Structure 1
Amino acid sequence: MPLAATMLLFGVISLLTLIPAHACPSVCRCFADVPSVHCNRPTLDHIPQGIPNTTTTLQMKGTRLVSVRQGDLSGLPLLRTLYLYDNQVHTIQVGAFDNNPNIQSLAVSNNNISEVSPGVFRGLNSLRELDMRANKITSIPAGVFNGLPSLRVVRLLGNRVKTMSVGAFSNLSATILYSLESNRIERIANGVFGGPQGATTMMLNNNNISLIEPGALSSFVRMTRLWINGNRISTLQGVFTGLREMTQIYAQYNSISALTEEDFSGLTKLRELSLNKNKISTIAGRVFGDLSSLQTLYLADNEISDIGNDTFYGLFNLRYLYMSGNKLETVAGGNIWPNVSKSEWIYSSANKLTTVPREALANMSSLRSLVLSDNPIVYVGPDAFGPQLTEVKLQNTKLRIIDGAAFNSSPQVNRLTLSNNHLQYLPETVFQPLTYYGDHETLDLAGNPWVCDCQLAGYYAWLKTKGWAIPSLYCTSPPSLAGQSLRRLANNSLNCSCEAVESPRIDTAGSTTWAAAGDEAILRCKVNACPDAAVLWTAARGISLTSQSEFPNMYVQADGTLVIPAVTPGDAGRYTCMAVNAFGTAEAEIRLEVTVGPTGQAVGIHTFNHPVWIFAAVHVLVFYWYISGVDI
């Protein structure tokens, strides 16, 4: 190449390189490769003039900029990205973007904007993403987003928005995300989101919403994810009307008290539903009947005390069920649980369950993890768990008795937590069916008051055959063995103060069989056994309790007597006393009848050994007791 041509080319390249540098305002930094301009000087209080007209990205961050005026951005026809975050902007004039039709991304977050006027986004036909988070906006007027056919993302989180006018977000068919969380919105009225709407994700969480009017979201025919958690919503009626593409709904931390059969109608594609931390006490009929695709259901920390036969109808593909922190006392079998027979994980800790619901779990052939910790469970019976179960958590309960055949039907359990209960011994055969034995994290037996006497002799002999695969127990009593490892004890250390061991025998004499509503009922369970037996009562309403149980309406005394301080008609029925030690089990049944007088005054018959005088209205009735036909 001739020298003259080479020099000319070098001069042109130099000129092109220097133009942006010379045209760059002194308070900014200009970059030719994007091309972009950063004007981040803390003392800057206006948009500088003289920015190169080839600029596609302009950033002003951490300055004293207070307003964006009409004409401030003139001469920047190629501007595509405008970042004005972390400033002090409180005003954007209508017409400020008239000369910037190519802006696709506008961020004015973390400023002091309190009002957004209709027309403020005029001319932004190419705008795709709007970020106005963390300002002080209090309301969204109608029409403010009109004329934005390309808008896909709206971020208004962290403002002070309280009201949204009808038509505030109408005709945004290209939008895919609304981020309106952490505002002060009180109500979603019909027409606020006028159709057509294209959004697939809506975030309305952490507001003050008390009502979403029925059909208010029905324009979102493509919506798949909805966050309405952290509000004050009390009903879901009509909230999900028309949202047939929905796959995820998060409605936890609200004030919902009841679920009705229409609430989730048509949501056949829903896979995850979160209703934790509400006040749900009533679940009507087949409320989940259309949710055939649901895989995860969160109902934890509500006030659910009963599950009906149809409650889980339709949940044929449910895998995870969270029911912890409710008020369940019993879980019946029957037709309830076959509806969720594919569930693999059930979390039902911190309820009021007193036994492992064996019948309810019988048909759950896919269940792998069962969490029942922090319930007042006192008893685990034979064959309590299903065949596929691999994890059982029963820590922090009132567990006093575990049957030797508890795991006979669940040999695959390899993670078992029985810590911090009231177990005093383990049956010799309790862990024999299990095919896997691991370390302390796999089998946790700590925190129980283990009594190292003859009742642990059988388990001790079995434990010695397993080497170190099973963690040892540490004796709580007798005092001579306290703190010692069971595995390290001598073979002759486990003794009872009995001349001969004796399986339990029960005497219920003197128990109340008839009682007037409001009166005290005493059900006796006198046990003869050596060593002493654990006494377990099963009440007419299905709960089980021992002397360690804490129920407000009934309690078991240290001698095994069940006391009901003030009976109600609901207390009538069959009561079973079971006494258990390592050498046997005995059961006895008592029937309690509760009577109420025709005028509403309670009358009843008690166990007395003398004439009983009962006064009702103006009549005097005299009852005599007979024993073997002899008048007493």
Structure 2
Amino acid sequence: MCGNLSVSLKVVTVILAVILPGVYSCTRSCRCFHQFLYERKDDGIYLFSERERAYYAFEYSPEMNNQLYTAACSFKNLTELPLGVDRTVKTIYLNNNNITHLANDAFKLIGLTDLVIIYLQNNSISIIEDNAFSGLDNMKKLVLDYNNITTLSENVLKFCTNLIHLSMNGNKLILPDSNFVSHLSVLSILKLSNCNLKSLPKELYSKRMTYLDISNNELQSVMLNFTIQTLNISNNNEIYLSQEADLTSLQVLNMSANSVINPHGARLNAPDLEVLFLNSCNITDEDLKFLLHNNSGIRILELSNNNLKQLELLGIQSLTNLQEINIQMNSITYFHPNIFSNNFHLSKINLNKNILNPAENAALLNSSSLEVLFLQNCNLTLITEHTFSGTLNLEEIYLDYNLLDNVDLAFHELQYLRIISLEGNRIKTLDPDAFVNNIKLRSLILSRNPIVFPEAPHLLNAPTLSEIKLDFCNITHIPVNIFSNTPYLQNIRLANNSISSLDSKIFEGLKSVLRVDISGNPLICDARLKKVLHVLITTNVISHAQCVSPKGDWRMLEHMHFDEKHEETELPQPSPTLAILAESSKVLQPQENGLATSMMSILLAVGLVIGIIVGVALNIFLVRRYRGFSLRSGSNWRRILFQRNST
């Protein structure tokens, strides 16, 4: 009886949801709201989410009050689609639930046939019946990532004729002969990453799409012959190149972490190619020469972790539109300074983890357009005033973890430098004028260098510097005038050194400082450090520090009291016994001083009250005892005293 009643109620609810869409705006399991698609800017109207541009632009417009009705039903432990959701909902989030089965007419039965976007990722869906998506003619995006789907029939998406974006990442798919995309005439984005795929449906090779992601699978002997604009085929097994491969529509290609097989010396026939990733492909100089031939439109080239040795043999000079190149983790030891002289748009080079030996009296590179240069972990032992003379427009340079001990003259000609990173070298001293010509310098990173600061009028002459990092340098002492010529410093990192005390004058002249990090130092919380804290607090600086004596956060200094007179005056040397007693009481001294001060205040208050009471009582006694005598008359007082003495 109860079972029949439950079924009847369920049927009634479904009927009401279909017939009366305005009655059930949302269920307990969902939260409905209006999601804004557009935001207005000064120069026009833009899509609120750039990712959704392709899915909304042609369907919705600002004339629709810039709103899309959305139902959020995520993380609700749902085992089936929720009933009673408003039929006008366009987007529904059903991700991270426990849904296992999408039956025929699943969305039609609950009245949700106007859906445009459906999120069903991170459920346990294993079965999708052929008519599960019936009625969803307007659906443009379907996300089924990380479920338990293994097979898809050819008709499962036959009703989704307007589907643009299909994502099925993380499902263990077997698609030997399934043409599940055959009905998707406008499909533009398909994601099948991490699906354990061993082969691809043949139709994918001829499907014209904007984006295809088949990375992180187990594809064997993939023939590179797709009519796609962006193709991610990274982290599979083997990719074969053939002379007949037609890649004329390809613009972005990621083949990283594969073995590129090119038995007949085929060339990458992709005249519109702009971005090419070939990281960890075990390619050699000769292989790359064929791949880059006739692809002068490449703007971004990634070649890290290969077996490249001689840049001159790669044909890089023909890439006249090249803007960024990454050649880190290869076996390059030397290249001609003019290797990039024809790449007039080149702005970024990454040469990390190559064992370089630049000439002492010559430029490392000649490139007037270069702005960012990475030379980390390159075993560099020397850089001179000539090293960067051919790259005068550099804005960022990263020389971390080399063997440099002197950089005093290296950056004098680089007027546009904004960032200099020298972390993990062997620099002990710095010329105060090492960065005086870098008139746009903002960030200087000197962490993990054994720097020793001498007492001098100033250490750094860098008036535009806003950030300096000196952590893990084993610094024991900071001179008072260290930042005297860096008035615009905002961020100072002195963490994890061996500093036990600081002078408040170090920070007094810095009007722009916002953050100071001195954590990880063996600081002693005394009157001197309290002055430092006071200076930083009064200027609203965010600071981080811990004290080792007494142990705790250094902000406890705000509540401590010190005898500044004794703190600053030299006292005679006490006897050994007194010295031992004084040393043993140092830790408790601040707390005892605070307690003594509190007790003294209480005693003074009590004494004052008692004094007032006694005075009032004595006055009353005298008035009553000697009533009738004028206290103002001197004779009366003498008479009183005479009578007392005679008595």
TM-score by shorter chain over 0.5: yes
The answer (yes or no) to whether the contact 1:354–1:375 under 8 Å persists in 2 is yes
Conserved 8 A contact 1:129-1:152: yes
Q: Which residue in the other structure is 1:157 paired with?
A: 234
- The answer for the alignment partner of 1:447 in structure 2 is 521
Question: For residue 173 of structure 2, what is the amino acid of its counterpart?
Answer: Q
Corresponding position of 2:356: 281
Partner of 1:42: 126
Distance 1:259 1:68, change over 3 A: farther
Q: 1:465 to 1:81 in 2, by over 3 A?
A: closer
1:268 Cα shift? Answer: 2.5
The answer to whether the 8 A contact 1:341-1:364 is kept is yes
Query: What code does the residue aligned with 1:89 have?
Result: I
- 1:308 and 1:44, CA in 2 relative to 1: closer, same or farther beyond 3 A? same
TM normalised by structure 1 equals: 0.56
CA contact (8 A) 2:351 2:375 kept: yes
The residue that corresponds to 1:409 in the other structure is 485
- 1:74 to partner: Cα distance: 13
Matched, 1:89 2:174: yes
Match of 1:340 among 414, 420, 426: 414
Structure 2 portions without partners, runs of 5+? 1-101, 550-555, 574-647
Distance in 2 (CA, whole Å) between partners of 1:36 and 1:344 is 44
Indicate whether 1:137 and 2:195 are aligned: no
Relative to structure 1, the CA distance from residue 122 to residue 213 in structure 2 (aligned partners, 3 Å threshold; closer, same or farther) is: closer
Whole-Å Cα distance in 2 between the matches of residues 387 and 370 of structure 1? 12
2:241–2:262 CA contact under 8 A, matched in 1: no
**Is 1:324 aligned with 2:409?**
no
Contact 1:98/1:123, CA 8 A, preserved across alignment: no
* 1-structure distance, mates of 2:424, 2:266: 41
Q: Which has the higher strand share?
A: 1
Which residue matches 1:370? Answer: 444
Q: Which one-letter code corresponds to 2:234 in the other structure?
A: L
2:473 corresponds to which letter in structure 1? T
1:405 to 1:465, Cα distance in 2 relative to 1, 3 A: closer
Structure with more relative contact order (C-alpha pairs < 8 Å, separation 6 or more): 1
Q: What CA RMSD, in Å, does the superposition of the two structures yield over aligned residues?
A: 5.4
Matches of 1:89 and 1:450, distance apart in 2 = 66
Conserved? CA contact 1:104–1:128, under 8 Å: yes
Matches within 5 A, 1:250-269: 250-254=326-330, 256-269=332-345
- Is the CA contact 1:68–1:89 (under 8 Å) kept in the aligned structure 2? no
Query: Which is worse superposed, 422-431 or 210-219?
Result: 422-431
Identity of aligned residues (%): 18
Q: CA shift at 1:255, angstroms?
A: 5.2
Q: Does 1:394 align with 2:470?
A: yes
Secondary structure, counterpart of 1:266 in structure 2 = coil
- 2:258 aligned partner: 184
TM alignment of 1:143-542, pairs within 5 A: 144-145=225-226, 148=227, 151-158=228-235, 160-167=236-243, 170-181=245-256, 183-185=257-259, 192-205=266-279, 207-209=281-283, 211=285, 213-214=288-289, 216-229=291-304, 231=306, 233=308, 236-237=311-312, 238=314, 240-254=316-330, 256-276=332-352, 278-283=353-358, 285-290=362-367, 292-333=368-409, 336-380=410-454, 381-385=456-460, 386-400=462-476, 402-403=478-479, 405-422=481-498, 434-436=509-511, 441-442=515-516, 444=518, 447=521, 488-494=562-568
AA of the residue aligned to 1:134? N
- 1:262-321 CA-partner distances (Å, limit 9, x unpaired): 543423323333334x1333235434311x333332323332221133322343332222
Is the contact made by 1:44 and 1:63 (CA closer than 8 Å) also made in structure 2?
A: no
Tell me the CA shift for residue 375 of structure 1: 0.5
Per-residue deviation, 1:496: 6.9
Native 8 Å contact 1:217 1:241 kept in 2: no
- Amino acid aligned to 2:370: L
TM-score in terms of structure 2 length: 0.55
What is the identity, as a one-letter code, of the residue corresponding to 2:564?
A: A
Measured after TM superposition, the shift of residue 393 of structure 1 is 2.1
Shift of 1:376: 0.7
Alpha-carbon distance, 1:421 to partner: 3.5
Distance (Å, rounded) in 1 between the aligned partners of 2:192 and 2:255: 15
Output the CA distance in 1 between the equivalents of 2:266 and 2:204.
Answer: 19
Aligned residues: 448
Aligned equivalents of 1:377, 1:358: Cα separation in 2: 13
Larger C-alpha radius of gyration, 1 or 2?
2
SS at match of 1:282: coil
Name the aligned partner's letter for residue 176 of structure 1. Q
Change in CA separation of 1:36 and 1:402 when aligned onto 2, cut-off 3 Å: closer
Partner of 2:7: none
